[in-house]
Chains A and B, each alone.
Chain A
Amino acid sequence: MKPHLPSVAARTISPRAAARLRVGLLAFTLLAAAAAAQTPPLYSRWINYTPANGFPRGEVYCVAIAGPRVWAGTEHGLALIENGRLRKVFTRADGLAAYAIMSLAVDPNTGDLWIGGLGGLSRYSAGKFINYTVLSSGLANDLVYSVAVRGKYVWAATAAGVSRLNTWTHSWRIFSVVGKPSAPFEEPWAYALAIGPKKAYIGLWGGGVVVYDLRRKTWRPYLDPDGAPEIVLYRNQGLISNMVSSLTHGAESNAFWAGTYFGLSGYDGARWHNYMRQDSGLASNFINGVALQGRRVWAATQRGLSEFDPGARVWVTYRPANWRALDAGKAARPQRGEILITGPGGHPRRLETATSLAHNYILNLAFQGNDIWVATAAGLSHGFAAPARRILYAHPNRVHRHPARAAYARQTRH
């Protein structure tokens, strides 16, 4: 039966009703937008930059985004990708201080790129490198594992402590076990840095995390309470291990995540939240890098890239489906991709994608809008988020055509 349609006159509504309708529509839009904003994307399509398409061979240690430019620090120089094309690979012949690039940081004010590596620290400004080495500057050591920029200061984690350069006065400060006043480092070998607005977080190789209050100029160390790297006697009572490889700080004061070689530790300013492969969806306890994307934390591990949503308590891990063969050196390249989604129930759902990360050994990652760039042991991977994913979360009961989205939705409803 054909439905009865009201006449045009009958469909005319009063101004008050129209206003209510507008308010309702606005509220719905805002709610939908809020729901969409909380929606994590799933990366189901990957493009890899490997020696096969001109990318430097060997490991990719780090990646950084500067607008349309993607910088990748590799074992054999600094690669620049622009608009999906490899533009140039900079080496020491081009003026770089280091031969292997371990860390990158973009100064949001100047647009300059700071490059830390095995050989010193470099500043790339409009096509020119300015180098800082232990011989030519106040840098503590030429093995620079991490670099970070905050305001006028550039921080560099080195094998002999942390160096801080004031780019306005050109003065250096070294935080280490030597000098006066010395820093409370159990080890001078600094591996990780995260500089917040009020605090500097320093990850030491075997020395845990040391937090420096930038205003009060005071130190606070965070150490593994049991002191043993292989075991965790006290769950959620402190840093999971003193072998800290990477750090990222949260928006809240004093909150940070630490990637260690024995698990993932999060500190919210009051409590610890530790995660290991055995009792979570973390791909591996051996973590090379951590990053925050909103509230979600990402861990670059030796067996894949893991993402954890603390609110939904859902883990997602990306890796090549043939990761065991790759890990053992029995396969030369990845085949299909694998996504593991683990909810609070603990039973992972496995999905396959046609494309995959370049390798399961993940070292670092960065976000470019909705895209993700992942540094692996065998190339750089560019991940694309599945489109129209917001609909999934706005209407969780709908039937989803994309299997990955559906699986994720099912896990979140546990």
Chain B
Amino acid sequence: MTPRLQREGGKKAALRRALWVALAIAAVAATLAMRGPRHEARDWAAVYSRRRYYDPVDLKLSPHGRRLYVACEGRNEVLAINTASRRVIAAIPVGRRPKALALSPGGRRLFVANAWSGAISQIDTRALQVTRTLPAGWGVEGMAADRTGHYLYAANPLGNDISVIDLASGRETTRLAAGHFPEFAARLRGSWIGISNLLAQPAPPDTPPSSQLTLINAATRQVRWQVAIPGAVQMRHIAQTPPRFGGYLLIPFLQPHNLIPLIELRRDWYASNGLAIVQLRGRRAPRVREVLLDELDRAFANGYGAAVAPHTPWALITASGANQVAILNLERLHRLLQSPDADELARRLDAAPQFVARRLPTGRDPTAVAASPNGHFAYVANRADDTISVIDLAGLRNAGLIRLGAQRPLTARRRGQQLFFSALHSQDHEIACASCHPYEGFEDGLVWSFETPRLGRDVVENKTLLAIRGTSPFKWNGLNPNLATQDGPRTAMYIFRSQGFSPVQVRDLVAFINARPLPPNPHLAPGGLNPEQARGRALFFRTRTNTGQIIPLHDRCYYCHAPLTHFTSRVLMNVGTATRFDDTGAFKVPSLEGIYMRPPYLHNGEAQTLEEIWTRFNPRDRHGITSDMNKVQLNELIAYLDTL
């Protein structure tokens, strides 16, 4: 080797060495940077959490009224606020998606329903710490402790039942049957616990919707009454008026007009908003009446929270779509309900001015409302603003705003969230996206008559917005190529009957909708599929019938419900489900993700359960070859579908 070559070789070796040294230094630096001091890691967590919104969704005041507890579903926290200073004094981490709060009778224990954890956090209100976690059912939300503080009742919307939890042992003892999607609970006078339902009871698609209030006798821990609320859906918080004002239960609701062809409506009137008023009558069945909170020229869209202010004649009802709180004069309402034509109030748009004393503006998407024990103030949680409105009940005016944290720049999703819950973009401010897609983008479980001038034709089931990203085109007829088309001109023309959203707003709304996740699936155990579900999966992917015949490709489950594309092939298919009331035979293949939580099924909502898709509406094996399956196999197939 020549010296030059040696020199060159030496230079290269030196370069390699230098490179290795530099790499080693970089690796050490990176390792150190990744380890970092502990406070630095916490700072990053804080930075991350600061980017998340609070989304206050429920409120409870301590018995003395000096402390306000706020469930913040966006940050998985419960905030404690000093009502005198109006400052946050503690932030208590809890489970995923805290949706509801309940206090024990003495106020020593605060229960937090963590909907996505399927568990309840118990907080010691003196130490402001979580002391234990209680079991709960599927998607647990509304809760109420009985008067003795021995039992806690928790509504499970995804299980359609109510958990009864023994607070001494911390064990769930019973699950009581409830209506469809029970979501809100309240402790009532006497030994009653009330549970209201978000969605209508399952029924044939051509019948008017009817919702349900479940009344539990806490003395026996059994359901005493299942009260039908005709024409109503989306019942939410329950408040009870004092005996001198009738002792009624007030429950905000929405009356959908889904059986009327919407094209026939000259203006709007998709839905009315009002109150179910339930009167408990001892051993006799409760009496139900309804009043509208809409007026001739303005709607009270999406009633949500309800509270009665002690020592006053006031009840407060929030409207998450109207960004308002209505203050009701209970004395006038009681008098009105005693009038001979009280049963007509459900249809009277001139009724509300007779008992609504004041309508006050709130922040965006007002949800829960709570009144102080002395009746001086009320507090409204504004979910899409991260604020709490303070209302002076002496002057019936806004008396301040509690900001839950530093103001942050609004992301596109946040702006989309504010648009999604707001009815201010529709004619007469009557309807919001959330009106038909409650549960933050779910579906209302109803069939609607859209875009057809003919009565009773093309009636289709409403579809969920949860986990719809990547499942376009949309609508049952597949005519919407993307969400922007649906949320822009179509919504403006057919639903809002207004200018609708601007292009920028549509972009924000699409960003919000595309980010709507499904709740964790309770059918799926952490360890994966159980043997029955695994056998069901084998049936889903089977290529031969029980007799060994090859199933044609287009008749296999996975052909249309392709797993790689959210269990939908995203095309129109004719599976023989069209009826003489449909103008087309082919419908967009729906995604199967979260299918367990969204009956009814098929395009027109005819199938009340998954079983009925094949036992009643697949007589010629066009919706997959299933007639060779025995009942055990069908159960296994459905057990698998429930896990998707």
Contact = CB atoms under 8 A, between A and B. Distances in A.
A156 to B, nearest CB: 13
A37 interface: no
A401 interface: no
Given A109-B174, A110-B176, A137 B609 contact: yes
Interface in B537-556: none
Given A135-B612, A179-B632, A126 B638 contact: no
17 contacts: A110-B177, A111-B222, A112-B223, A123-B177, A126-B225, A127-B285, A128-B226, A134-B631, A135-B611, A136-B608, A138-B611, A138-B638, A141-B631, A167-B161, A171-B532, A171-B642, A176-B632
A338 to B, nearest CB: 41
A176 B635 CA distance: 13
B615 interface: yes
A136 B631 contact: no
Nearest to B160: A170
A160 B608 CA distance: 23
Contacts of B222: 110-112, 126
Interface in A110-145: 110-112, 123, 125-128, 130, 134-138, 140-141
Nearest to A179: B632
B612 A130 contact: no
B2 interface: no
Contact of B175 (A123, A135, A152, A174): A152
B159 interface: yes
A17 to B, nearest CB: 45
B631 A126 contact: no
Contacts of B173: 109
Interface residues of B, number: 37
Contacts of B639: 171
Nearest to A174: B632
Given A126-B225, A138-B611, A111 B220 contact: yes
A123 B226 CA distance: 13
A134 B638 contact: no
Interface in B488-508: none
A180 interface: yes
B535 interface: yes
B175 A178 contact: no
A170 B159 contact: yes
Contacts of B642: 171
B635 A174 contact: yes
Contacts of B137: 168
Contact of A180 (B159, B535, B616): B535
B630 interface: yes
Given A125-B223, A136-B612, A130 B635 contact: no
A125 B630 contact: no
B523 interface: yes
A7 interface: no
A137 B616 CA distance: 12
Contacts of A111: 220, 222-223
A169 interface: yes
Contacts of A141: 631
A128 B642 CA distance: 26
Interface of A: 109-112, 123, 125-128, 130, 134-138, 140-141, 152, 160, 167-174, 176, 178-180
User: Which 10 pairs of residues, A with B, have the shortest CB-CB distance?
Assistant: A179-B632, A111-B222, A126-B223, A135-B615, A109-B174, A125-B177, A138-B635, A128-B226, A126-B226, A174-B632
State the majority secondary structure of interface residues on B: mixed
Interface in B585-644: 608-609, 611-612, 615-616, 630-636, 638-639, 642
Contact of A140 (B161, B175, B223, B631): B631
Nearest to B222: A111
B631 A110 contact: no
With most chain B CB atoms within 10 A of its CB, the pick from A125, A138, A140, A152 is A138
Interface in B193-242: 214-215, 220, 222-226
Interface of B: 137, 159, 161, 173-177, 214-215, 220, 222-226, 285, 522-523, 532, 535, 608-609, 611-612, 615-616, 630-636, 638-639, 642
Nearest to B225: A126
Contacts of B285: 127
A135 B638 CA distance: 13
Contacts of A125: 176-177, 223, 226
Contact of B631 (A152, A167, A174): A174
A178 B629 CA distance: 11
A112 B177 contact: yes
A130 B642 CA distance: 20
B223 A110 contact: yes
B633 A179 contact: yes
B599 to A, nearest CB: 11
A112 B177 CA distance: 9
A136 B642 CA distance: 15
B215 to A, nearest CB: 8
Tell me which of A128, A152, A174 has the highest count of chain B C-beta atoms within 10 A of its own C-beta: A128
Contacts of A134: 615, 631
A200 to B, nearest CB: 18
A130 B177 contact: yes
> Chain A CB within 10 Å — which of B222, B224, B631, B635 has the most?
B631
A107 to B, nearest CB: 9
Given A126-B215, A138-B638, A179-B630, 11 more contacts: A110-B174, A112-B177, A125-B176, A125-B226, A134-B631, A136-B608, A136-B609, A137-B609, A171-B639, A174-B631, A174-B635
Contacts of A137: 609, 611
Contacts of A110: 174-177, 222-223
A135 B176 contact: no
Nearest to A111: B222
Contacts of B225: 126-127
Contacts of A126: 214-215, 222-226
A211 to B, nearest CB: 21
Contacts of A172: 635
A174 B523 CA distance: 18
B46 to A, nearest CB: 39
A136 B632 contact: no
A180 B633 CA distance: 9
Contacts of B636: 179
B225 to A, nearest CB: 5
Contacts of B633: 179
A179 B632 CA distance: 6
A4 to B, nearest CB: 59
B611 A173 contact: no
A95 to B, nearest CB: 11
Contacts of A179: 630, 632-633, 636
Contacts of B611: 135-138
Nearest to A172: B635
A189 B185 CA distance: 44
Nearest to A160: B631
A136 B174 CA distance: 25
A138 B631 contact: yes
Nearest to A171: B639
A159 to B, nearest CB: 12
B365 to A, nearest CB: 32
Nearest to A135: B615
Contacts of B609: 136-137
Given A109-B173, A134-B631, A136-B608, A173 B532 contact: yes
Given A111-B222, A112-B177, A135 B616 contact: yes
A248 B315 CA distance: 56
A169 B635 contact: no
A287 to B, nearest CB: 30
Nearest to A127: B226
Contacts of B634: 138
A130 B179 CA distance: 10
Contacts of B630: 178-179
Nearest to A141: B631
A169 B175 CA distance: 10
A64 B357 CA distance: 53
